[in-house]
Each structure stands twice: as C-alpha cells, then as structure tokens.
Amino acid sequence: MDEDIRAEAIGVEEFHQTAQAILAEVGKVIVGQQAVVQQVLICLIAGGHALLEGVPGLGKTMLVRTLAEVLDLKFSRIQFTPDLMPADIIGTNIMEEGEDGRRTFRFEAGPVFANLVLADEINRATPKTQSALLEAMQEKTVTVANTRYALALPFFVLATQNPIEMEGTYPLPEAQLDRFLFKVDVLFPSTEELVEIMGRTTGAALPQVTRVADGPRILAMGELARQVPVASHVNQYIARLITATHPLYAEWPDSLVRRYVRYGASPRGAQALVLGAKVHALLSGRYNVAFEDVRAVAHAALRHRLLLNFEGLAEGIRTDDVIDDLLERVPVPAGG
C-alpha cells in the first residue's frame, strides 16, 4: 500500500494562515454553510471522521469533493446502496494462475485505501456493510482472510447520510456512530444563499479551486493541535458535561437528560470535545483552550452520542435541545 505521508512541524501563525486559506478556497464553491465547513475542517485537522446529515441536494457530496481538491489528498468515493457488500469497500483476495500453472491469491484493495474516503449516503447500505468501515475508522487497518493491511495516513472518512425518516435508510449502529468525531447537520440555505447557488452553478463557467495544503500540512496541523495545553479546570468542565449526559448521574431532576435520554456520551465524547476545542482555539488564534472553544464544538461532538428514549423520540425531542439544556445547566467555573 501507499506509504504514510509524514508531517513537518509548523507554528501557530502558519496554522492560522493555512486554515484560513482552506476555508477561503472551499468558500469559492460552497455557498454559505460556514459553520459546516469549519466543523468539517476541525474534524480533519483533529484526525477524526465526520458524519454529515441533511436532505439530498444540499451540497454534502460537493463539500467533500471540494475539500479533496483543496487538500491534494488521494480521494475515493463509495456510493452506498442496499446491495453493497463489505468486500466492495475493503477489498478481497483474487485467485490468479501463474505461468507455471500454480494458483495464488492476490489482495485487490478496495476504495477504502485512500486518504479521503467519501462514504456517500452511508445509511442506504445494510448494517453489515456499514460495519465494514468500523476497523478502518478506528484502527486505520483492514483485515481480510486473517491478514491485516495498514491504510495510508492521513486517513479520513467523511460520510453523508439522509435523515433516517427518509425511505430506504438504515440507522447506523451506535458503535459506528461513536467512531465519528463530529456529526455535522447541513441545513437548508437561506433565500439569499439559494440565489447565489443558482448563479454559481447554472452559468457557463463553474467555480474552480486551487490546492492550498496537502497531507503533510494537515498532519502537521494536527500534531500542533494536540500540543495545545488544556487547563485542569477546563478538563473538569468537559468531564462534568460528559457525566451530565447520563440520566443516572444527571444532577437536575427536571433536566431533559433525566426525562428523554436513555444512554449518554461515551469517553470518546470527551476526547472529541478536547480535540475539537484545541483546533477551534488555534483557528481563533489562541494557543490555549477556553471554555468558549468547548461550547463551540459541543453540539457536533455530542449530538450523535446521545440515545433518546421512547418518550424523547415520540415527542420529537432533538439531541441538540438536550445539549442546549446541558450547556445552560453545567456551570462554567469562575473566571471562565
């Protein structure tokens, strides 16, 4: 397989300039959706995977394709359908016959062997096929016939899904949802943005982007982000937020967690908050994590990690509503 791309050290100013250049280039193609683009970029720099949810036609696939062009990464697209099989994703062993008549097996790598993998409409495939991505997302390896193959770094999965209420969709297993660092909601554009979209996409000349970063730069940005210090009181705040997502440990009898949540966030939720907050701080030009950074990424990091109970589903409660309630209730330590 391809050799891993190695990173070179960069500073805070270089990080900020590169991030702004990426956002500017993506903005040439994607109209509005600044929060969505920023959250996906935070996820990539943090070394995680992102799940984008929205109705068809909102530009989710276009966003991922544009990022691949801007970042100069090896790109592959997997269109998930009900008849897609795990071997169609990770690859399979093929029997070949040599000139001497001897038969041997050769591994034919699947489309998951890329730096940036677009898992398009991931929830249109069956749970068995969805689960084929689990090892790749968590371990960055693929196992076929008891042989493990390493994926080239950097490795990112950007998955899109339609709302589960739509026909022909299968809900993602909780174990796979937890592998996504962020879940990003893609909302319908405003009237002004819709006019701009029509102008950009129906004319003779389509918007073009230039490459402003590559694999080594993204890895270097991620390494810098992991070095950003987090004060103990910020870590305590994150720990309290995660604990408060569990009904058993929620301190407030009248909270939405107590009433509507069946299971809360896992420790991966805390990791997502820390990593996301570190990158957000650097995007803001700071080399330290503030409470505002944690709150800025809380919805993307936690919305897919809260499992609502029957009452919550029946009443149409959104996990974002629960997170809003938590952010109001969990106190920010003095001086934050």
Q: What are 41-60's pLDDT values in tens digits?
A: 899 899 889 998 877 666 67
Q: How many domains does one find in the chain?
A: 2
Distance, in Å, from the CA atom of 242 to the CA atom of 180, rounded to the nearest integer, reads: 16
Nearest C-alpha neighbor of 137 from the set 155, 111, 160: 155
Query: Considering 170, 193, 218, which residue would you say is the last residue of a domain?
Result: 218
Tell me the pLDDT band of 2, cut-offs 50, 70 and 90: very low
**Higher pLDDT, residue 333 or 268:** 268
Domain containing 100: what range? Answer: 12-218
Amino acid at 251: E
204 in the same domain as 233? no
29 in the same domain as 175? yes
Domain membership of residue 2 (yes or no) is no
DSSP 131: G
| Confidence (pLDDT) at 57 | 67
Residue 262 has pLDDT above 70, yes or no: yes
Residue 51's H or E segment, with its range, is strand 50-53
Distance, in Å, from the CA atom of 19 to the CA atom of 24, rounded to the nearest integer, reads: 9
Asked if 306 and 282 count as a contact pair (C-beta separation under 8 A), the reply is no
Residue 150's H or E segment, with its range, is strand 147-150
Residue 301 has pLDDT above 90, yes or no: yes
56 in the same domain as 197? yes
Residue 198 has pLDDT above 90, yes or no: no
Query: Considering 198, 218, 238, which residue would you say is the last residue of a domain?
Result: 218
| Confidence (pLDDT) at 5 | 47
Name 118's bridge partners.
Answer: 77, 158
Give the phi and the psi of residue 184 in degrees, each rounded to 5.
-110, 125
Tell me the pLDDT band of 215, cut-offs 50, 70 and 90: confident
150 in the same domain as 282? no
Domain membership of residue 253 (yes or no) is yes
pLDDT mean over 63-82: 84
What pairing do the DSSP bridges indicate for beta strands 307-308 and 261-263?
antiparallel
264 in the same domain as 235? yes
232 in the same domain as 210? no
Most confident of 121-125, 195-199, 254-258, 276-280: 276-280
Amino acid at 125: A
Give the phi and the psi of residue 173 in degrees, each rounded to 5.
-60, 145
Collapsing DSSP to helix, strand or coil, 20 comes out as helix
Task: Round the average pLDDT of the chain to a whole number and report it.
Answer: 83
CATH number for the domain that contains residue 204: 3.40.50.300
Nearest C-alpha neighbor of 182 from the set 69, 274, 303, 281: 303
288 in the same domain as 244? yes
| Confidence (pLDDT) at 296 | 93
- For the entire predicted model, the pTM comes to 0.83
